[in-house]
Amino acid sequence: MALLEPLRKAAVRTIKPHVSNDTWRRIKSLDPRGRGANGAAEALPPLSEWDMVSLARHFGTDKWGSHRYAPHYEHHFLPFKNDTFSLLEIGIGGYAREKQGGASLRMWKAFFPNAQIIGLDIEDKSFVVEDRIKAYQGSQVNVPLLRTIVDESDNLQIIIDDGSHRSDHIRTTFEALFPLLPPGGLYAIEDTQTSYWPRFGGSEDIDDPTTSMALVKRLVDGLNYEEWRQWDYEPTYADEHVVAVHCYHNLVILEKGENNEGTNRKIPPPPDVAAS
């Protein structure tokens, strides 16, 4: 057994940081023959059964670590867990560094065992392509390319914007892609802190109407467009199809559906509006 001590220490250094506490306890419960405390053969669960924090650590994505997105994603994405659908993530990671990036695509592939995972990046990330992972190269504001990606996707249900983080890019991408999601789909915008950073096209003025967070705030108002007393207002597509806006630190997740519950207004419109 003494000969196994260096291996145990190596496991603590290399495996423990990348798995959940529950998974680590299961690893520790195994004896050197791969058997649990009761003597029965036991194996680690497949990656598809890991929680998303463990998967984020395992694959090295910043969705857990420098950010805390993984638990929020697990909460909202869990209903799609075993569905057959496509997920598109804008931004594959690694910037222009050769053979760098793709960690989150691999995490999505592991979490969704029946899903097709699609990535889009301004750099050539073709090295990430494998079974159930597809990559496109191009700009997130290339609207014809975005439409092509959707057309070539099978049952696209989830879109994640982890691209340039520029406010104008975020807004253009949302305007192009959100209408192409089906009802029940989810649209995530990451790293919204850049909304306040001028070098990303954001603004130090929190009331600046051109930023990505200004878009989000407008979507929140749009949830209640039927209650407004602007009697001649024509609702936008987003007004009529965003049914929930979940805001977290640096992360926003939107739910798509039919936002037409009706109004609770008790005051009737002016006669000239009612007659029109």
By annotation, the residues acting in catalysis are: 165
CA distance 156 to 178: 11
Which own/partner pairs from 221-227 qualify as long-range (CB within 8 Å, at least 24 positions apart)?
Answer: 222/259, 223/259, 225/259, 226/260, 226/261, 226/262, 226/263, 226/265, 227/263, 227/264, 227/265
In angstroms, the CA 106 to CA 134 distance is 11
Q: Which residues pair with 117 in a beta bridge?
A: 87, 133
- Give the contacts of 112 (CB within 8 A, at least 6 positions apart): 77, 80, 81, 82, 83, 85, 87
Amino acid residing at 119 = G
3 state SS for 49-91:
HCCHHHHHHHHCCCCECCCECHHHHHHHHHHHCCCCCEEEEEC
Per-residue burial over 68-91, b = 16 or more CB atoms within 10 Å of its CB, e = otherwise: ebbebbbebbeebeeeebbbbbbb
DSSP string, 24-57: HHHHHH--TTSB-TTS-B--PPPGGGS-HHHHHH
